[in-house]
Structure formats: C-alpha cells, structure tokens
Structure 1
Amino acid sequence: MAFAFPAPRHTPRALRNILLERMEKAITHLSAPIADRAEGIHEARKRFKEIRAVLRLVSDTETFPAGAMRQWFRDAGRELSGTRDAQALVECWDKLDAVDPKALQTRAGQALHRALIDNAHDHLHDADALDSIVRRLCAALNQHMTHLPEIDVPETGFDLICSGFERTYRAGRRQLDAVQNAPTAEHFHDWRKRVKDHWYHTRLIAGAWPVYLEQRQSLLKTLSDLLGDDHDLMLLRSQMLAWSDRLGSDAQQQRLLGAIGRRQAQLRQEALSLGRRIYAERPRSFTRRITDYWRLWEEEDAPRERRLPFHPDPAAPLS
C-alpha cells in the first residue's frame, strides 16, 4: 500500500489503513536478520515518523487519542536513536570525505573515522540490549494494531485533514522565519522536523494533482536531505570534540572542524534558498489552493451518471 490516500473520499478509513500498514512495515523492519539490522532500524524509524505525521493531521477525540499515540511513537524512535545516530555519523564522514577529502585524509581524520566505525559496531552488536528493545517494540506495535480504534468523526474528504495540513505548513513557515532570524543548529534542526511533516503530508495528498504534488514532494525531500546532512555534521562536530584527546594533532583537528563548517555553510545556504520558495505562499492561501485541487479530484473520481443512448424521434421532421 502506498503512503497516500487512494481516493478523495472515506479519508477516516484510509488514514486508519495507512497507520496499520506503516505499523506492519515497522515490525517487518525491526525483525530483520542481524546482517540487515542497521538498515532495518533505520527503516523502522522512518515508519515511526510517517505514523507521527499522519497523527498530526487529526485531533484527539474521545475514542481516538492521536496525541498519546504520537508521543508513544516519538519515544519508540528515541529508543532506537543511539544505534541509528552512530551509523549516521559514519555515513556523514563518508559524505564529507567525498566533497572535502584533504582535511579528512590526515591522521586525525582517519583516527576519527576508525572511532566512528567502532562506535557504530558497538551499538549495533550490543545484542542483548538491542534484542530486548526490538522484542518489546514489536510486541507493543502488535498491540497498537490489534486495538487501533476507528477514526469516528463526521468529517470526510479533505475536511478531515484540512486544519492539520494548514497547521503543519504554518509551523514550517514560522520555523523558517526563526532560522533566518537566528541561524542556530537547534533552529535548523527544528525546521527540518517541520519540513519532514509537510513532505509526508504532501505524499499523502498526491492524488489531488500528481503532476504538481509529486514535484513538490521531490523538492521537499531535497530540502529535508540538506537539513539532515547539516544536522549530522553538527553531531559529527560534537562527537569529534568529545573524542579530541584520541585524535592527535590539534592542527589537523582544526582542519577537520574547518571542513565541517564549510560544508554546513554550503548546505544551509542551499536549504534557505529552496525553503524560501517552498514556503513562499501564505498558509491560508496555500491550503485553499490544495482544497480546490482536492475538490476537483472528488469531482473526477465520482461515478459518472449513466447516460441513456440517443435515439432520434422518428416522427421529428428532418431539417
């Protein structure tokens, strides 16, 4: 099942089906064999983020505790974050080496690389601790699937998600303003979270106008990747400073820090240029436009009236 509404109607049922399917996929990823565990954990955390994004589209009701479920999936993702972050730092080093190899191909750079690989290996192969977490999360996910309530609300179609959709778009726009006013690592990281929400939501509604919304998805994915690489570099810098005594030459470490800083500056410039365009439209105007696309989708998806074949009246005079 694709991470998207299959049709413009019956959105409560479709949302619930999407949640169930993402949970099932998360269990599959977490159950991956040891050789594929790093990728399995990475993919499971993606499914958790997709689930949280879906839950942000709907409000709490007496029977559907969206907020509590969001919190559970946030906490579940954090339980796996140490293993994923350790692997991400190795990938971050590799990406930086591809664009600025001189600073990394030094004794200090190679020492950092070895330490990152060893750290990732230790996290991944702490079998007892990780197995316990995975078993517990899989059991809890099965419980969530078994007891997931219906989304019992009167709204359907885009009306169900309109407020949540606009709220998350507005949050991304506000976080962009925060970044421009104070370009801190924390503000960039918070912006990335909101960008990912909007990316997930754009994927969900792609059927309303695939040509436009799939292109928007691609741009949002690029923006999310730029911000993700920036965040990973921030973590790499922090880890490097924590291991400073193990890396040798101070001069070589300064070169490493310089390479990290240059790459972050480039990524942030590209992200701001793209983000300003993605978030150029005011939230209410943007949501109205998406609503119009959805209404057209509903009209096109509606069953056409059966038309009787045309039979000319034989008594009518010929013109």
Structure 2
Amino acid sequence: MQSDTDSDAPDEIPSGGYRLGLAETVAEGVHRMAREEVDGALARLRDPRYDANEALHDARTRLRKVRALLRLAQDAIGIEVFETEDAAYKQALKLLDPARESYVAVRTVESLRGDFTEVLRPSAFVDLQARLEERHHRILRHTLREGVVPEAIIQLETARGRIDGWPLELADDRVLERGLRRAYERGYASMARAYEPEGGLAGRAFRLWRREARYLWFHYRVIAGAWPPVFEAMADEQLRLSHELGVGKDLGDLIRIVRDADDLADSQWPLLALTGLARERRKYLWQGLRSLGTRLYADTPDAFRDRMRRILQAARGS
C-alpha cells in the first residue's frame, strides 16, 4: 500500500545531499540543505515533466525536509523566526495537499482490494475506485491549471529568499543534540499515547506519532555522516515505521473522504463495506507496529540525547 512518505525520484538539481558534512558547520549545512531542497521543490513544480503526481509528491517531500531542518536547528533559529518560516512551508504544503490526498485515496482502494482478494469478488469496489479516480483528476487539474501551483511557487520563492538570513550564528552540535532529543521525545510520548490502555488505538495519536517518526527519520539522514553504518540503518528502520504509520494515515483519510462524499456510489453499502475493511486493516497494522516502535524508542529521551552527544563528539570533535 502506498504511503506519502518519500520519493525515489532523482534530484533535478545537483546538490551536496541531505546530509551534514563532517567539515561543515551546522549553520553552513542547514543553510545549504534548505536552499537545495527548496530549489528542488521549485524545479518539480515549475516543470513536472511526465508525471504530475510524482512531481507533487517529490516537491512535498522536499518541503517537509525543510521543516525538519527548522525543527532540528530550532534552538539556534529562535521561536519567532522558526514559527514564521515553518508556517510558510506549511502553507505551501497545504496548497498541494488535496491533489496528493486524492491520488493516495485511489491507490489505497486498489491496495485494499489486493489485500482482501480471498474474500472479495474481482469486481468489488471497481466502480467506487473509478469515481475516486475521476475525483482525483478534477482536483489535479484544478491544482495544476487554476493558480494553485503558481501560488505555491510564489510563496516558496519568497521563502527561499529568506533562508540565508536564518539566524544560525549560535548553531552548534549541542543544538543538533537538543533537536534530535525533541523529535525523539515527541515520538516516544506519541507512541505511549497511541497504545495507552484506555483510549488507545486512536487515529489522532497515531497521526501525531507518524509526524514525529518522520521528522526523526529526516534528522537521522542529516547526521548520517557522523557514523554512516549506524545512522543509515537507524534511518532505514525509522523510514519503515514512518511508512507503515503513513499507510494507517492513508486509510484514515480514505475513511474520511468516503464518509464526506455523496457521489462515490449509488448506495451506502459499498461505502460501508469499504470503510469497514479500511478500519480493520488499519487496526491490524497499528497492532503490528508496537514491537517495532518499542525497539526504535527503547531509550529514555535523556539517554537518547546522551548517546547522540557521544556519537557526534566522536565524529565531529567536541
């Protein structure tokens, strides 16, 4: 099942990569990575080439990587600048959300049909999927042709011009340590809420956990140069968790779309059947993620921070 997590498409613009170089200062690296990701997003939005869905997905992923950089360096940037810049990229993402969400809804129905082939007729949900596809094409045309993408480009060009002014003079490895701890702690707490005995397995808790798991994945990628074999493996497992939590989010989005739409089926029965399957699939997925989450969040937040400190000091010097 597809999740809106990351793109395998190659970068359109040559770059130093989403990784802090051992010889770079934190300020140099954060400024460089932010410029590269915004430039890459703008390139995809200005010229989506042959696959607009993939172009929008890649642009969105790059903007999330910028938001992750802001969070990682938040203590140096300061709360006012952080909130202004984060809001700018969040708004650009919001403009692109409907087209991506509608595309993922189509793919999610397709995946559900594949997951339940043993209990579904081959024709099950075919008409509903076709109507979701028509809905997606309408939203995609609106996004590409009616000013949505141009507005996002204008917003990003303006934000791009402010990157070099981000106040990172105080950025150092201790800032990275605190940013890593913050993302880890939030994921640690979100997982606990998601599986708490009373009220557990609730969609909102898992959405929050997914968001923080994805930010931590991006953070691991940024610092991977400090110990590539270890951090690349950690990033791979964090990506696995983020992807699976993203599948759960996609199922929840599909449930909401089906609930709110009034033109996807001629009767309520296929809609009720689809939402029932989606809920069961999501519940099964969530229950299966507990052991992976427990391994990835095995340390206390303070122990995690101290471990990150020792690794960064060994790799980059004190």
The bucket for the TM-score relative to the shorter chain is: 0.7 to 0.9
Alignment of 1:138-177 (within 5 A): 138-148=153-163, 149-156=165-172, 158-177=173-192
Listed as ranges, the matches of 1:204-283 within 5 Å are: 204-243=222-261, 246-248=264-266, 252-283=270-301
Name the TM-score, length of structure 2 as normaliser.
0.86
Structural mapping, 1:64-79, within 5 Å = 65-79=81-95
Instruction: Tell me whether 1:20 sits opposite 2:62 in the alignment.
Output: no
Q: Which residue of 2 aligns with 1:30?
A: 45
> SS state of the match for residue 67, structure 2?
helix
Query: 1: distance between equivalents of 2:46 and 2:18?
Result: 21
What is the deviation of 1:254? Answer: 4.2
**Alpha-carbon offset, residue 105 of structure 1:** 4.1
Any stretches of 5+ residues in structure 1 without a counterpart?
303-319
Deviations 1:68-87 (CA, angstroms, capped at 9, x unpaired): 10111111101110111000
Q: Secondary structure at the match of 1:56?
A: helix
Secondary structure of 1:59 counterpart: helix
Superposition CA RMSD, Å: 2.4
CA distance in 2, matches of 1:250, 1:64: 48
Structure 2 counterpart of 1:290, one-letter code: M
Change over 3 Å in CA distance of 1:10–1:253 after alignment to 2: closer
Shift of 1:133: 2.1
Aligned AA (1:46):
T
Q: How much does 1:56 deviate?
A: 0.6
Q: Kindly tell me: are residues 146 and 219 of structure 1, through their superposed partners in 2, closer, same or farther at Cα, counting changes over 3 Å?
A: same
Query: Alpha carbons of 1:146 and 1:238: their partners in 2 closer, same or farther (altered >3 Å)?
Result: closer
1:42 corresponds to 2:57:
yes
Q: 1:70-109 to 2 correspondence within 5 Å? A: 70-102=86-118, 105=121, 109=125
Secondary structure of 1:7's match? coil
Compare CA radii of gyration and give the structure with the larger one. 1
Given that residues 132 and 264 in structure 2 are in contact (C-alpha distance below 8 angstroms), is that contact kept between their aligned partners in structure 1? no
Question: Is the 2:21–2:29 Cα contact (8 Å) retained in structure 1?
Answer: yes
**Which residue pairs with 2:19 in the alignment?**
4
Counterpart-to-counterpart distance in 2, 1:41 and 1:68: 23
Do 1:5 and 1:207's aligned partners in 2 also have CA atoms closer than 8 Å?
A: yes
Alpha-carbon distance between aligned partners in 1 of 2:251 and 2:24, rounded to the nearest angstrom: 43
Q: Distance in 1 between matches of 2:154 and 2:314?
A: 42
Within a 5 Å distance, the mapping from 1:92-131 to structure 2 comes to: 92-102=108-118, 105=121, 109-126=125-142, 130-131=145-146
**How much does 1:9 deviate?**
4.5
Letter of the 1:286 partner, please give it: F
Question: How big is each residue's C-alpha offset from its partner over 1:87-122, in whole Å with a ceiling of 9 and x where there is no partner?
Answer: 010111122122113565466611210111001111
Which 10-residue stretch deviates more, 216-225 or 235-244?
235-244
**What is the DSSP-based 3-state SS (H/G/I as helix, E as strand, rest coil) of the residue aligned with 1:3?**
coil
Greater mean alpha carbon deviation, residues 247-256 or residues 33-42: 247-256
What runs of 5+ residues in structure 2 fail to find an aligned partner? 1-15
Amino acid at match of 1:5: L
Select between 204-213 and 261-270 the one with higher mean Cα deviation.
261-270
Alignment size in residue pairs: 298
Q: Distance in 1 between matches of 2:49 and 2:139?
A: 13
| Cα deviation digits, residues 275-295 of structure 1 (max 9, x gap) | 111011011111111111111
